[in-house]
Amino acid sequence: MEEINHYLIKRSNSIRQLRKNNQKRKGFFEVTIRKTAFNPPSAAIKRNDIVYIAETSGGIYAMGEVIEVGVVQTFTSVPKLLEFSKRFNDDQYWLSKIREFSSKLSLDHNYKLRFHEYCVNQRILDRTIPYNGPLERYDASVNSGLASIFFKLRMEDIKYLQEPDYKLKGITAVNLEIPGGLRLKLYSLFNKKYSIGHLIDIDHFVPKSVGGPGNIVENLVPIGFSLNRYKNDSIPRSLFEVAASDAFKSNFTEILKEIIKTSELSDEFIRTNIYPKAKVLAQKITGIMNASPDLNQIKAFYLAVNERFNPDYCNAIKEIDDV
């Protein structure tokens, strides 16, 4: 019996803009642009192999069995590639490849673009698998030089995937960026437990532009979820209201009068082009709070800010460890 191989493929985070679902014939492809006869790595795939699908900056959200494998197609000119690319509904991807190919050909006409397509019977996992344990070697946020998006999995990887560790990596301090694993854990929560079929993105509630952290779930909110959602980089008034509350005002004694005054504005979301001083004040608030050595207090603060507008979301994330 022929050996079954296991592969990990990574796709751009833009895939989160599409609904992730079970699909009996999900098509994938790989492309290389080389002078030498170098086929895309997926050319090694065969029927019945197992493929795990992940986002570039996140975890594994689906798997499936290879059911169809195409032949490698070779292109030597831009016009033929342009015509071929019309069959795909991904102009942004193909425009970048066509430009790259055109640039290479202008330097050396021996360059060729090779294309390989295969189909997978895709099944969405109940829980997104973060890059923990041996999978950490595939995490681009840890291995900054990691450019590859196609990997043949090792035996230890395959064994680990049978009983993966779903816990997010612990944090000791807040920062502005949203970890891919946390983003995907939220996708798992809303796509599976709450049947939210189309999440455009997950973003900061207190905006990143004023210091709102991205690596704690308490300051995140899904766009597309049935919640009130701030627009652009507007600052939720609740940031000032919570800062002025009995539970937190002792942290902001030097700027408390300004905070109270701003919290009395009628706007639920304060636009910084109308109230420019509010942005500076918000940055002071987040700077003080984010520097707290008590991570639980930081989380409690942002949860209170978020909860005033998004109670359903804040209630849902209490289940985050049970996803």
206-246: pLDDT as tens digits: 999 999 999 999 999 877 544 444 456 799 999 999 999 99
Task: Summarize the confidence of residues 290-296 as an average pLDDT.
Answer: 93
The average confidence (pLDDT) of the chain is 86
pLDDT at site 298: 96
The neighbouring-strand residues paired with 7 are 51, 152
Residue 74 has pLDDT above 60, yes or no: yes
Q: In Å, how far are 1, 28, 47, 150 from 43, measured between CA atoms?
A: 20, 12, 11, 11
pLDDT at site 270: 93
Q: Which of 37-41, 86-90, 144-148, 242-246 has the lowest mean pLDDT?
A: 144-148
7-45: pLDDT as tens digits: 999 886 544 444 567 889 999 999 999 998 889 999 999
- Kind of pairing between the strands at 220-223 and 201-204: antiparallel
Q: Which of 105-114, 205-214, 224-233, 260-269 has the lowest mean pLDDT?
A: 224-233
What DSSP assignment string belongs to 195-252? ------EEEESS-GGGT--SSSGGGEEEETBSS----TTPEETHHHHHHTSTTTGGGG
pLDDT at site 227: 42
Interatomic CA distance for residues 303 and 242, integer angstroms = 10
Domain boundaries, the chain: 6-162, 180-322
The neighbouring-strand residues paired with 6 are 50
Higher pLDDT, 16 or 148: 148
Which of 16-25, 83-92, 120-129, 288-297 is most confident?
Answer: 288-297
pLDDT at site 66: 98
Q: Which of 66-80, 91-105, 133-147, 169-183 has the lowest mean pLDDT?
A: 133-147
Residue 94 has pLDDT above 50, yes or no: yes
Instruction: Supply the pTM of this predicted model.
Output: 0.66
Higher pLDDT, 131 or 47: 47
pLDDT at site 225: 46
